[in-house]
Amino acid sequence: MTKTFDCRRIPARRHVLAAAMLCALGAAGVPQARAQSAEPIRIGLILPMTGPFASTGRQIDAAVKLYLAQHGDTVAGRKVQVLLKDDASVADTTRRLAQELVVNDKVTVLAGFGLTPLALSTAPIATQSKTPMVVMAAATSSITQASPYIVRTSMTLPQVTIGVAEWAPKNGITRAVSLVSDYGPGIDAEKAFKDRFELNGGKVVETLRVPLRNPDFAPFLQRVRDAGAQGLFVFVPSGAGAALMKQFAERGLDKAGVRLIATGDVTDDDILNDMGDVALGAVTSFHYSAAHKSAANQKFVEAFQAANKFRPNFMAVGGYDGMRVIMEGLKSSKGAGGDALMSAMKGQTFESPRGPVLIDAQTRDIVQDVYIRRVERQGGQLWNVEFETIKGVKDPGKAGAGGAPK
C-alpha cells in the first residue's frame, strides 16, 4: 500500500528532514503534478442495468468493455476508468447519479443514457458543470439541443424513419396505421412517418400511441384490423419488439395480410432470433444491422460474440462508437475535459461497424447511412438483411437539417 504524507502534521524528530524535503517539493509542485497526471480519467457510464430496459444497459456495457479491451485503456499517459452506475431507467435516479459522478468522482465525461427522459434529466447538469455528455442510446431528435455539452452517437427517430416511409408507398403499401410508444421518440417517429409517407402518396388512416411501460398491444392491434390498413408502421423502444410481434401473430394480422413496417428498434438484433417466423418479411429502416456487410462489422460482431455469447444490437454500436469518440477526443485534448474535449469530439469522422459516420460539428449529432432491410432466415438464424442504402442522412427533425434521401 502507498503511504501519503500530510505536510500539516508535525513529524517525529528523525523524520523532520525528509518531511521538509517532501513538503518543499510539494510546494514546488513537482510531486503534485506527477500525482495529478497519474490520476485516472474517469468516465461516468449511467445505464439501465436492471428493470424493463436492462438489455440496453447490458449491450452498451459489453460494447464499452470491448472497445477498451481492443484499443487499450490509457490515454495521454493516464488510465481511463469507467464508473458504471445503474439507473434502472428512472430519470430522477439518472440525475442524482450524474450529480454524484460530477461532484464526488470528478468524472471528465458522462455517458450512456438508455432512454430519452434519462438523457433530458441530466442535460442541465452537463451544462452547469461543463461536462461533456455522450448520449449512446436515447434518440429523440431534440436531445442534442438540451445542452451544448451533448454529443450523440446513437441515432434520431426521424433519421431512421424516413427510409421506410418512402419505401412503403413505392412497394404497394398506401394505407397505413401507425403505432408508437407514447413519449419523445415515438412522437418523433409518428410525425416523421406521416409527413414522409403522405408526401409520397400514402395515407395514414389512424395514429395509435401505446404506453411506454408494460404496454398491452392487443386492443390497438384489433383497431389496426378494423381500419383495413395494408401496413402497420411501428416504433417501440429496444426490447419491446418481441411482445409486439407475439401479439401481432396472435391477433392474426400477418395472416390477414397486414404488412409490418417499422424502425429497426422493433426487429432489434438482440431479440430477433427468438421472434420466430412471424418476423419474416418485416421491412424496417435503420442505421445498424448485425448482418451489415463490411470487414469492420464482421470483426466487431465476431469479437463481441466471442466475449459475450450474444449478438450485438444497435445499442452496442452506439456504445462502441461513443467510446471511440471519447477516447479519440481525449487523445486530441491531451486528457483535458470541458470545452477542449467538446471541440475534439465535434467533427470526428470514422468507419463504424454500421458504416461511415460523422459527428456533425454544428449539431453534435451523428450523420450516418440508413439502410432498408428485410427480416430473412439465413444459416438457420433470423437477420435484418440490408437491401438499400440511403447515404449520409442527417437528422431531418432539426430545423435547417437537410437529410432528405435522394
Note the residues at the interface with ligand PHB (CB under 6 A): 115-116, 137-140, 185, 237-238, 265
Q: Least distance from C-beta 107 to ligand PHB, angstroms?
A: 22
Q: How far is residue 171 from each of residues 166, 342, 372, measured CA to CA in Å?
A: 9, 43, 12
Q: How far is residue 40 from each of residues 7, 35, 141, measured CA to CA in Å?
A: 24, 10, 33
Q: Least distance from C-beta 138 to ligand PHB, angstroms?
A: 4
- Closer CB to ligand PHB, residue 267 or residue 348? 267
Q: Least distance from C-beta 343 to ligand PHB, angstroms?
A: 26
- Closer CB to ligand PHB, residue 185 or residue 202? 185
Closest residue by beta carbon to ligand PHB: 237
* 266 close to 234: Cβ distance less than 8 angstroms: yes
Three-state secondary structure call for residue 30: helix
Q: Least distance from C-beta 67 to ligand PHB, angstroms?
A: 20
Q: Least distance from C-beta 373 to ligand PHB, angstroms?
A: 15
- Closer CB to ligand PHB, residue 269 or residue 386? 269
* 152 close to 113: Cβ distance less than 8 angstroms: no
For residue 83, what is its C-alpha cell? 464508473
**Beta-sheet strands, E only, within 37-118:** 41-47, 74-75, 78-86, 109-112
- Closer CB to ligand PHB, residue 108 or residue 289? 289
- Closer CB to ligand PHB, residue 265 or residue 269? 265
- CA 257 to CA 259: how far, in whole Å? 6
Q: Least distance from C-beta 256 to ligand PHB, angstroms?
A: 27
For residue 87, what is its C-alpha cell? 439507473
Amino acid type, 142 = S
- CA 272 to CA 239: how far, in whole Å? 10
- Closer CB to ligand PHB, residue 41 or residue 282? 282
